[in-house]
Amino acid sequence: DVKVTQSSRYLVKRTGEKVFLECVQDMDHENMFWYRQDPGLGLRLIYFSYDVKMKEKGDIPEGYSVSREKKERFSLILESASTNQTSMYLCASSGTSGSQETQYFGPGTRLLVL
Amino acid sequence: GENVGLHLPTLSVQEGDNSIINCAYSNSASDYFIWYKQESGKGPQFIIDIRSNMDKRQGQRVTVLLNKTVKHLSLQIAATQPGDSAVYFCAENHTGRRALTFGSGTRLQVQP
């Protein structure tokens, strides 16, 4: 079975802090994704990566950056956290470089920015 | 729970009944569709997928129907059980795009 893990289930940070969210997958997947999930807005794509050191902006990249130094690990970085970044963050991975493969999700990180 | 929940449409069914969850999409180029289930406090879990060259696909207790003419997708769950209570999302993709586009979800509540 595909396993996607996220470093934290819950995080509380203060405005202006730098925040790192880590995601690891164990299936040698090329593609990895970061989403945020908010009431009434569903899942929105922040960034994705289709190879090591490669990244593409999603629909809402502002205020975020990402890092993919190793194939199995994809990090989401909030350079200066703001209260409007309080959300559930979901990482996903998928298996080929094509566009039509199932994404497998981690359990999510609930981030609260005070 | 931690799901998207405050503004979701909700479907309430009795245990043992069949459930039908609907999803509309707008992109006529969409050619791949997935249903996900998200339980409280967990990430979305893959249920079933279908490609646009099909109009029906069956899994274990689940069936997905695709009507490309009206751009409509449905998930049917047979003999709904309390463990089926969750938020269900449809997602779509099309050739050339790497990322899925998700619907806003429907909450399924199973009454014992």
Contacts of A108 in chain B (CB under 8 A): 2, 41-43
Determine the pLDDT at residue A61.
97
Determine the pLDDT at residue B4.
36
Name residue, tokens 């997708």: B73
Asked if the model's pLDDT at residue A113 lies above 80, the reply is yes
Determine the pLDDT at residue A5.
95
Q: How many residues does chain B have?
A: 112
Band of the pLDDT at A100, cuts 50, 70, 90?
Answer: low
B97 touches chain A (CB under 8 A): yes
DSSP annotation of A2: -
Asked if the model's pLDDT at residue A2 lies above 50, the reply is yes
Asked if the model's pLDDT at residue B72 lies above 60, the reply is yes
Do the chains contact at A40 and B104, CB–CB below 8 Å? yes
Determine the pLDDT at residue A52.
93
Q: Cα(A7)–Cα(B48) distance, rounded to whole angstroms?
A: 28
Contacts of B103 in chain A (CB under 8 A): 42
DSSP string covering B5-70, please?
Answer: -TT--EEEEETTS-EEEEEE---TT--EEEEEEE-TTS--EEEEEEETT-SEEE-SSEEEEEETTT
CA distances (Å), origin B54, targets A53, B33, B73: 37, 11, 12
Asked if the model's pLDDT at residue B12 lies above 80, the reply is yes
Mean pLDDT, to the nearest integer, of B4-21?
Answer: 83
Q: Which of A42, A107, A108 sits opposite B105 (nearest CB)?
A: A42
Band of the pLDDT at B103, cuts 50, 70, 90?
Answer: confident
Determine the pLDDT at residue A4.
95
Half-sphere exposure of A42 (CA within 13 A, CB side): 17
* Interval A51-83: pLDDT, tens: 999 999 999 999 999 999 999 999 999 999 999
Determine the pLDDT at residue A40.
76
Q: Which helix (H) or strand (E) holds B11?
A: strand B10-14
Determine the pLDDT at residue B7.
60
Q: Cα(B46)–Cα(B24) distance, rounded to whole angstroms?
A: 19
DSSP annotation of B84: G
Tell me the shortest Cα–Cα distance from B2 to chain A, in angstroms.
8
Asked if the model's pLDDT at residue B5 lies above 50, the reply is no
Mean of per-residue pLDDT scores for chain A: 92
